[in-house]
Structure 1
C-alpha cells in the first residue's frame, strides 16, 4: 500500500534533497600541461597547454614590482619591437591561442580563465595591458568591456571594430567570405543575426569609458581592408564622447601593404611608454571576496544548468534593478558562461519599492510569470528611503524567501545591499546600516548568498580607488557604479561555479525567524471592498494634472476618493493588511480601524509627491490574529501640510 507524503514527511526529506544537490556541479577545472622553454628575442619563453589550447608567456630579465604584463590577442609574433622594449623594462608578455573565434563569448570564457590563472597562480598584476592587432580588436574590446576594472590600457593596430565591416564586407571593405562563414558558425548566428549584433567593439563602451581606460589606435590612413571610417574612427569618436581617453596615430612612413592594412610601426618606444605609464606602478585593488558571502551556495541553479539545461532567473528590486545595467550584464554573463542552457529572465524591478511592496507583489510580478530557480533580491536602498521599520523589513524579506520556497523548495536566493549616501555615512561613523544588517540576518538564517555593495562602495572610496562625486555619482549608479555591482555579483557566481569558495550544505531551518512573516503576502483586488459615499472605482485611472506617473500604476483600475468623509469596508483574512496607493500632489490622510477598534490616522503624502504620482505602500497592521477581520477606512478632513488636497487612490489591498 502506497503511503501519501505528508507536509511533515516532506520537511524531513527536503534537507536530504538539499544535501544531495549542494555541491557545485558546473566547476571548470583549469588543466595546465607544461611545455618547452625556449629563447624568444633573447628572452625566456615558457610554453604550456591551457585547457587544451596552446599558450605561453615571456619572462623579463628583471620583473617590475607587481608583475605588470601585456596580453596579446591573435598574431602574437607580428610587430614585436614594442614587446621587446617592455620585456626589457620588466613586463611579462602572455598569449593564449583562441584564434578563429573572433572574440565570441566562447573565447571570452577562455580569456576569463586564462586571466584567473595568470593572476592567481603566477602572481601577474590585477590590471593587464591589452594588445590587439587587426581581428585581435574583437578580442581585446570584447574582454575589456566585460572586465574594465581589470584593464590598464588598450593598444590596437588597425583593429577590427565591427564585424559587419570585416569579415562581413557589408560596407566599403571587401571582407573575407571564408572568415565570415567561420564567424557565423562560432557565434551561432544567421546572417540576419550577425548584421543586427549590437555588441561589437564600437558598442556599449560606457563602462570602459567610465573607468577611464586609455585607448591608443595606430592605423594606416588608407586601410581599405579594415576601413577606418567603419572601425577606428567610429569607436574613438564614441569613446571620446563618453569621456574615455583615446589617441589615434597614423603610420605614414614606410610601405603600406595589404590594401594599406599592413604598415611598419613608427616610434615603438612611444607606444611602450604609453603602456608603461598606464600600467606602472602596479596597484592592487581591494579584493572582491570581502564583499560577498557564499554560505549555502547556489546548488539548485547549478543543477538546473547541468541537468535540465533550462533555468529561470528573477530580479526583484527597486529602480536600481529596474534600470538597465548590472541586471542585463548578469543575464548576459549567465547566457555566455552556460550557452547550452535556455534561460528565462524575469525583470521585476519597480522604482521606489522596497521589501514591504516586494513581499505582497511577489506572486503577481514574479511567480505568475514563472517559478525561479535563482532569485536576486534587493530592498536596502528603498527601505531606508521609505522609512520601513526594522521588524517590517525582516517580516517582508523572510516572507519573500518562504513564499518563493513554497513555489520551488530548492530555489536559490541572493540578497543584495546596494549603496546610497546614508549607508556610506553610517559606515563612516562606524555603524553597520540597519537595512544591511537585516539583509545579512535573513541571509545567515537561511544560509543564502549575499552581496554587500554598500560596504564595498564605502571601502573603495576610503581606499582612494574611486569617489562618489565623480565616479559613482548617485544612488542610481553611473556606468562606473553599474560595473562595480556587476563585477562583484559575477565574482560571487564564479566563486561558486568554479569551486573556489567552500559552500556549506544549504540545510536552512524550516522554522521562521519571525512567526508573522509575510510569506502568504499577495494583492487583494480592490473590487473586494464595499464602497460607501464618496468612493469611485475608476476603471482606467490617469492623472489630469500632468504630473508624471510610474509604469504599471497608471491606466488601470483604481479606487479614488477626494472628499473627506468617504468610507469603505473590507473583509480580509490573516495577520496583515495594508494598501498599495498612488501618492501625488493632492495626497491626503485616512482614518482606519480594524474589527471596531479605535481609529488611527495615516498620512498618505511623501517627500516626492509634488513631483510624481508615486507608488506607495502602507501597512495598517502586521501582527493580527490569523483569522477573519474587517477594515474600515475613511478619508480625513485634515490635509497634510505640503499637500494640495485630501485624495486617496488605492491600487491594491495587501493581505497576508
Structure 2
C-alpha cells in the first residue's frame, strides 16, 4: 500500500526494467529487476499472510538469512534495493521513498514495513525510519552502524575505513572531517518522533565487535531511545565464532528475530476483506468464459472513482495475470459526476455490444446522494442497469461496489447503514448480485487503526494508498470467486430474469439525438460547441453538437414514446431556468444551475418525468426569464434527450 502523488507513481513505473529475472530463493519465487537504475529484488511467499506484511533489507541481502526465510515461509514478502556507497544519505532516503511507493503499490503490501539493517545497513534503516515513522512496524538491526564517525570514520575505538570514509563524505557533501563530525542526524540523533510512534527496535550485537563497537553505536542509540520512551531490546550474541574482529557472529536465535518481527507487524490483527463481500450468484459464468473460451470483455461503469486510474488498472492487471492465455478487452465507462441514473441511459452509448459483456463492475453509491437522486430514482436506475444488461446477455456477471465518503463513515459510526447503500442493496439482493462494500470496510479499517482518512485515504477520490485498499479488497474477492476448479463439462448458464421490482425501472433507457427536437426561434444547434469562458468541461461535453438557447421565451418540442423522459445538459456558470410540460400537463419550472456550475459546465441529467404511460408523448421546453441568483445568464444547453421506452 502507498500514499504519494499518483503522478510520481506513474514515473516510477517508467523507471522499471521490463526484463524482470525470475528465479528461486530457498524454494520461493524471486524476482530481480532494475529500479531507477539500481538492482532490486522481491521474494514472494507461497501464500501471503493476512494484510500482506513485508520485510525490507538494507545492504547484505544474503547475509544471515535464517530469520528472513522463516518469515517468508510464514507469509512475508522480502524486498531489497541496492543503495551501496550511499551510507543512508539524504539522497539514499529519497531513493528509499520512491522504492517504498513503488514496491508497496505493485504488490499491494501493507502500509507498515519491518526494517532489517545489517552493519552499515543501520544508517539506511534509521535515517529512513526517522522520516517515516508512520510506515515502520519495527526495526531489527544486526551489529548496526549508528554513528558514522565510529565507522567508517574511525574517530573512536573502532578501526574505521579510510576508503569508505572518503566515499561517505563525498556522498553527504562534506568538505572536511570536522564538518562530517559536526553532522547532527546520525541514527543516534533525533529519535524523538520514532520513539513517540512507539516503533519497537531490536539489536543483535557482538560484545567483541571492534569494527562497529557497541559502546559507540547500539548502546548509545538504545539508551537514548529508552529515555525518550521508545521500546528497545538488545541481544548480545556470545556463542559460536566471533570473526572479522568480532563484527561477524552467529545469530543464536533466528526464531526470536522472526517472532519479534511477526509480533510487531501482525499483532494488531488486520481485518479480512472477505467479511465485506457478498458472493450472490458468484462469477461462475465469467470464470468459464475466461478459462475455457480464452476471450473476455470486462466493463467498468461508474463515476470519477471508476474513471480515474487506480483500482480499475489493478483489477485489469489481475485478470490478465490470472488468465494469461485469455484475450481481454477492458471497457472504461466511468465518467466523473455520473451516478446510476446517467448510467442507465448512457449504457448503450458507452458500452458497445452489450450482449458480449462477460463481467461488469458498477458503482454509484458516492454520486447518487451527492447528485440529489431520490431513493426511488436510485433503485429505478440501478434496477434498470441490471435488467438492461441481463436482457442483452442473461449470462453476464455483475459486481456492485459501494465506495466510501465521509458521510458514509459518519453513518456507519452511528450504527446506521447509509440510505444509498440500502437502496442499491435492495436491487442487488433481489437479483442475487455480488456486492463489495468498500464503504464499510474502509470505515472499519480506520476504526481498527490500520490507517487514517486524513493522512492516508485522504478523499472520496482516493489517494494512491486508498486506491490500493480498494484494489486489494477487489482482488481478494476475484481470487476467491475464481478459485474453484472448472470441469470439462461445466457450461455457461443463462440466469432467468424475474419480474421487475418497479415497472418504471429504467431498463430500456437510451440517449436521443438533439436533432429529434422541433425548434422555434431562439434555439439552434452548435455542431462543435465549447465554452468561451474559463470554466471547466467534461469529456463528450465540448467540441460536440449542443442544442442551445439563451433567450427567455424561446421554445422547443420533442415528440417521443416511452415511460420516462429527461434532458442531459451542460450546466455552467450561465445556466438558467427552464419551464417544461408533458402533453397537456401544467408547466413546471426547473433550475439548471447546480452547486458546481460556477466552476464547471457540468454534465447533468434532469429526469422530467418517470411514470408515464408507455405511449406517444409531447415534451415542450421554454427558457424562463427566472434566473438563479448565482448564475450570470439564462442558458440552456442540451447534449441529449433521454427516454425509457
TM normalised by structure 2 equals 0.66
- Which position in structure 2 is the counterpart of 1:572? 560
**Contact in 2 for aligned 1:578/1:619 (Cα 8 Å):** yes
Alignment RMSD, CA only?
Answer: 4.2
Find the partner of 2:113 among 206, 213, 223: 213
**Contact in 2 for aligned 1:209/1:244 (Cα 8 Å):** no
Q: Structure 1 residues 655, 266: closer, same or farther in 2, change over 3 A?
A: farther
Counterpart CA distance in 1 for 2:324 and 2:454 is: 38
- Which position in structure 2 is the counterpart of 1:332? 317
**Contact in 2 for aligned 1:419/1:457 (Cα 8 Å):** yes
- How far does the alpha carbon of each residue in 1:241-299 deviate from its partner, in whole angstroms, 9 at most, with x for none? 99966999899789x9xxxxxx9986997999799368526221222111110011012
- Which position in structure 2 is the counterpart of 1:556? 544
Three-state SS of the structure 2 residue aligned to 1:380 is: coil
Find the partner of 1:311 among 296, 300, 311: 296
User: Whose radius of gyration is greater, 1 or 2?
Assistant: 2
Find the partner of 2:80 among 156, 164, 169: 156
Counterpart CA distance in 2 for 1:382 and 1:332 is: 26
**Contact in 2 for aligned 1:589/1:604 (Cα 8 Å):** yes
Q: Structure 1 residues 268, 497: closer, same or farther in 2, change over 3 A?
A: farther
Matched, 1:466 2:451: yes
- Which position in structure 1 is the counterpart of 2:55? 130
Find the partner of 1:442 among 414, 420, 427: 427
Counterpart CA distance in 2 for 1:527 and 1:545 is: 26
Counterpart CA distance in 1 for 2:606 and 2:83 is: 56
- Which position in structure 1 is the counterpart of 2:401? 416
Counterpart CA distance in 2 for 1:242 and 1:539 is: 56
- How far does the alpha carbon of each residue in 1:465-523 deviate from its partner, in whole angstroms, 9 at most, with x for none? 222111211100112211111111111111111249xxxx9855421111111111111
Three-state SS of the structure 1 residue aligned to 2:366 is: helix
Find the partner of 2:386 among 401, 410, 415: 401
Counterpart CA distance in 2 for 1:397 and 1:283 is: 38
Structure 2, unmatched stretches of 5+, are 1-21, 35-40, 63-73, 85-97, 146-150, 153-159, 164-242, 486-492
Matched, 1:453 2:438: yes
Which runs of structure 2 are paired with 1:25-424 in the superposition (5 Å)? 96-98=27-29, 102=32, 111=44, 114-115=46-47, 119=49, 128-130=53-55, 156=80, 158=82, 203=102, 211-213=111-113, 276=260, 279-280=263-264, 282-368=267-353, 371-424=356-409
Counterpart CA distance in 2 for 1:399 and 1:498 is: 31
Find the partner of 1:630 among 610, 613, 618: 618
Find the partner of 1:498 among 483, 505, 528: 483
- Which position in structure 1 is the counterpart of 2:609? 621
Counterpart CA distance in 2 for 1:319 and 1:573 is: 32
Three-state SS of the structure 2 residue aligned to 1:367 is: coil
Number of aligned residues: 485
Matched, 1:520 2:520: no
Three-state SS of the structure 1 residue aligned to 2:611 is: coil
1:96 shift after superposition: 3.5
Three-state SS of the structure 2 residue aligned to 1:458 is: helix
Counterpart CA distance in 1 for 2:549 and 2:339 is: 26
Structure 1, unmatched stretches of 5+, are 1-72, 77-94, 120-124, 138-149, 161-198, 222-231, 257-262
Matched, 1:605 2:576: no
Q: Structure 1 residues 457, 508: closer, same or farther in 2, change over 3 A?
A: farther
**Contact in 2 for aligned 1:156/1:217 (Cα 8 Å):** no
Three-state SS of the structure 1 residue aligned to 2:333 is: strand
1:158 shift after superposition: 4.1
- Which position in structure 2 is the counterpart of 1:640? 628
- Which position in structure 2 is the counterpart of 1:39? none
Counterpart CA distance in 1 for 2:328 and 2:505 is: 31
